[in-house]
Structure 1
Amino acid sequence: MALSLSPAFLSPSPRMEPSRSRTRDFFMGRAFCALAIFAALMASTTPSPLYPVYIAEWGLPQSAGTTIFAVYAIGTLLSLFLAGWLDRLASDRRQILLPALVFTMLGALMFAAADEVWMLLVGRFLSGASTGLITSTASTAIFELDSEEKRGRAATVSTVAFTGGAASGPCLSSAALAAGVAPLVTPFLCIAALALVAFVGLSLAPWPKGRNPAASSARKPSEIRPDLSDGDRARYLALACLSVAVAWMLGSMLMAASVSLATELFHLQVYALAGLLPALFQLAGGIGQVLAGRIQPLRAILLGCGLLAVLQLGTLAGAWAGITAVFILAMPLCGLAYGAAFVGGASLVNRTAAQGTLARKIARFYVVGYLSNSIPTFAFGLMIDSHGLATAFTVFSLVFVLLALTGTVIAASWIRKGGAGA
């Protein structure tokens, strides 16, 4: 699942003095940072409709598809661990962005040239590593390159670039499948070309000379809760981690296996339409994040986890009955609920972390998220090989619903008690 830093975690560096001229002077820099995010996220989601093709044409087990998908999280986790250290060393954020875009190009070219599984694994790892570096660094750069009064616009630009790229990837590969235009090659050449344009644009764009290498995650005093005990903060962090684990657990499974689920369990006969379902999920997920960002974190978690539990139970019933429309309808609705659960957890961390600890809390939050992105999906693939898709989906759904209901009950309890972020 291609996921990025929540806008709740992004803020400009304190030494970057915004001015009215900044909006005009650094427009190219902001535009190509947005394009870099778009290209990285497109690279991360483009393979989703193609996994069944690789499995069928190369004679691979189902677990191969989910393993290739899950390797992405390893690259992203590694890049997140390195991002802070690299940011302190870099005097210019492009020193991180340009090599990351090279990784995006190399990952796409590995997919385009692939004739063995190891090439897909390497390409997927490079895609994950580049996405982790680009989404965090480019999003922060967009904030820094804009004027203070336009800070809200900067968050919107980052979110639109992320959501647009994530949704465009499956559309690109599905279009190549429908047209029969080398679907295992053409989409990845397009991604490499897009990353190259972003690389050249960032290299040539005007850029400020001064920056703080350790950009702070400053929050308004009103956003900090000094009245919370350490125990309360730990419990809020645990709920936030549970919420992101629920969201990313389902999201990654759907991105890795939605085409197989649609065609085999729900009997969707139009393969190109099945390939578009991941794009529908990603688009709805972006909308869900924007909408849920306007409500209190605990309520967003309650809404997101509660809806995900109900929707997954309904989807499971639809799978048993073989009703195609259930899965098609569930994908965008699950995307909306996923967005609410994710942004609710991210905002709760931001709201309840003690002063000076936010960066560490964010790191833990995303480590849990990416582990939930990879381990359940890998296990799901192994279960398909040993017990079949229907049994694997049933077991996954029941475990998932239990976790989602746990998050729902905890959030509802804390809302009744008037907890932070309620």
Structure 2
Amino acid sequence: MKQRNGTGWYAAATYVFAVGMAGTTLPTPLYGLYRGQLGFSELMVTIVFAVYAAGVIAALLVAGDFSDVLGRRPVLLAALALSAASAVCFLFEGGLPLLFTGRVLSGFAAGLFSGAATAAVLELAPSGSSGFAATAANMGGLGCGPLLSGVLAQYAPKPLMLPFLAHLGLLAVALVLTLVLPETVHRPEPRPPLRPRGMAVPRQVRPVFVPAGLACFAGFSVFGLFTAVSPGFLSETLHVGNLAASGAVAFSVFASSLAGQALMSRTGVARGLPLGCVGLVAGMVQVGCSLLVASLPLLVTGAVTVGIGQGLAFRSALSAVGERAPEEHRGATLSALFVTAYLGISLPVVGVGALSVGMGLRDAGLVFSACVIVLAAAVGFRLHRARG
């Protein structure tokens, strides 16, 4: 049964969600330091990053709806524990095994937060609220992670320890808040068995799902680029060694995505998806040009533009697929969309790392930019023709 106790619980749940998601992007500005300390290649950086997405996908497929059965608080507590365990792995890392373990645990945590925390924020929202705080907590947390670690790593001692100690402190506050949050789920007795919900795309949804999924794939691949490889672009191509600047660039993508999602209320779903694709194309053109001419301002404007496009396309895709999917298959269909998105955040960025071994990071980034431009333009053109 829902319990609404005003904006206090709403704000508390939003904080828990944001802090949990911040941990998933905390290592972004630090990958260069790990490379120098452990001596691995840019390809290995992208693989370390990508195993996070594997953890998210596994959690979504196996436990995506567990909070509907167990309640929100138990699942949130499990997610916080996994997030803390991830931070501990980074604190005590002595090589790649703990880095991989930390990233996988972080992915598991993000997968649990995605369902349970979103639901908790929406259910604790004051009457009349649109629940936009759920999206703000998700994207805002993802953006604040690299900003926090970049500032601490640049201007405070122990750059590979202090960001994770700070996050553990934030998680401790989130733990206390979670323990006192009102439970919003009436747990049935006897408890039904916990079963993986899997994913499915009914035949009648596929005409909408295919372009929506491709747009999500393209948009999330840009997230992968900026959270895994952009620090390398800044240091190697643009010769910017400031870790706070690296974190700020990653932050700008997520903050702009939030702005793009807010725009959908004005554009509507039908216009939002093709317009989002236009934003992806325009942004990646700027990112590609920034690599060609070694321009930090162009990289930043490209990050903002591509973030707005990603946010607009992503929220429009969620709405379009959610509206078309039958109620009895809606959760499984949206799971398939999220899996498509998280494949986008992982596979292409590993490709960038592999290409960088042979052709250098800048040229690999140019190839990636061209691929995203072609994919987003093709999806946008198809959607435009369908509307016409």
Q: TM-score, normalised by structure 2?
A: 0.91
Q: CA separation in 2, counterparts of 1:209 and 1:356? A: 19
Q: Is the 8 A contact 2:221 2:345 kept in 1?
A: yes
What does residue 166 of structure 1 align with?
Answer: 142
Q: CA separation in 1, counterparts of 2:323 and 2:58? A: 26
Fraction of identical pairs, as percent? 26
1:181 to 137, 140, 157: 157
1:365 to 337, 345, 350: 337
Q: Is the 8 A contact 1:29 1:207 kept in 2?
A: no
Q: CA separation in 1, counterparts of 2:247 and 2:68? A: 41
Q: Is the 8 A contact 1:96 1:133 kept in 2?
A: yes
Question: Is 1:120 equivalent to 2:99 in the alignment?
Answer: yes
2:25 to 38, 42, 45: 45
Q: Is the 8 A contact 1:241 1:365 kept in 2?
A: yes
Q: CA separation in 2, counterparts of 1:235 and 1:126? A: 35
Q: CA separation in 1, counterparts of 2:150 and 2:245? A: 8
Question: 1:174-230: per-residue Cα shift (whole Å, max 9, x none)?
Answer: 11122142111111111112112211222134435735789xxxxxxxxxxxxxxx7
Q: CA separation in 2, counterparts of 1:177 and 1:84? A: 34
- Post-superposition offset of 1:373: 1.2
AA in 1 matched with 2:52:
Y
User: Are the structure 2 counterparts of residues 269 and 347 from structure 1 closer, same or farther at C-alpha, using a change threshold of 3 Å?
Assistant: same
Q: How does 1:180-219 map to 2 (within 5 A)?
A: 180-207=156-183, 210-211=186-187
Q: CA separation in 1, counterparts of 2:294 and 2:279? A: 22
Q: CA separation in 1, counterparts of 2:174 and 2:9? A: 10
Q: Is the 8 A contact 2:69 2:187 kept in 1?
A: no
User: Are the structure 2 counterparts of residues 52 and 208 from structure 1 closer, same or farther at C-alpha, using a change threshold of 3 Å?
Assistant: closer
User: Are the structure 2 counterparts of residues 412 and 118 from structure 1 closer, same or farther at C-alpha, using a change threshold of 3 Å?
Assistant: same
- Post-superposition offset of 1:29: 4.2
AA in 2 matched with 1:165:
G
Q: TM-score, normalised by structure 1?
A: 0.84
Aligned residues: 377
2:249 to 274, 277, 291: 277
1:252 to 224, 245, 255: 224
Q: CA separation in 1, counterparts of 2:39 and 2:109? A: 29
Q: Is the 8 A contact 1:28 1:201 kept in 2?
A: no
User: Are the structure 2 counterparts of residues 270 and 186 from structure 1 closer, same or farther at C-alpha, using a change threshold of 3 Å?
Assistant: closer
Question: 1:21-40: per-residue Cα shift (whole Å, max 9, x none)?
Answer: x234xx55433322221111
2:10 to 30, 33, 38: 30
- Greater Cα offset, 237-246 or 391-400: 391-400
AA in 1 matched with 2:60:
L
What does residue 51 of structure 2 align with?
Answer: 71
Question: Is 1:340 equivalent to 2:293 in the alignment?
Answer: no
- Greater Cα offset, 313-322 or 273-282: 313-322
SS at match of 1:23: coil
Question: Is 1:106 equivalent to 2:106 in the alignment?
Answer: no
- Post-superposition offset of 1:271: 4.2
2:76 to 78, 82, 97: 97
- Post-superposition offset of 1:391: 2.2
CA RMSD, aligned part only?
2.1
In structure 2, stretches of 5+ residues that fail to align are 193-201
User: Are the structure 2 counterparts of residues 86 and 210 from structure 1 closer, same or farther at C-alpha, using a change threshold of 3 Å?
Assistant: closer
Q: CA separation in 2, counterparts of 1:71 and 1:375? A: 10
AA in 2 matched with 1:86:
F
Q: CA separation in 2, counterparts of 1:177 and 1:150? A: 41
What does residue 238 of structure 2 align with?
Answer: 266
In structure 1, stretches of 5+ residues that fail to align are 1-15, 215-229, 417-422
SS at match of 1:378: helix
- Greater Cα offset, 338-347 or 258-267: 258-267
SS at match of 2:40: coil
Q: Is the 8 A contact 2:237 2:291 kept in 1?
A: yes
Q: Is the 8 A contact 1:240 1:349 kept in 2?
A: yes
- Post-superposition offset of 1:272: 2.8
1:296 to 246, 258, 268: 268
What does residue 110 of structure 2 align with?
Answer: 131
SS at match of 1:60: coil
Q: CA separation in 2, counterparts of 1:114 and 1:371? A: 26
SS at match of 1:267: coil
Q: CA separation in 2, counterparts of 1:241 and 1:158? A: 22
Q: CA separation in 1, counterparts of 2:13 and 2:95? A: 33
SS at match of 2:128: helix
Question: 1:145-166: per-residue Cα shift (whole Å, max 9, x none)?
Answer: 345x3341xx122122223312
What does residue 62 of structure 1 align with?
Answer: 42
- Post-superposition offset of 1:390: 2.1
What does residue 150 of structure 1 align with?
Answer: 128
Q: Is the 8 A contact 1:106 1:192 kept in 2?
A: no
What does residue 198 of structure 2 align with?
Answer: none
Q: Is the 8 A contact 2:147 2:244 kept in 1?
A: no
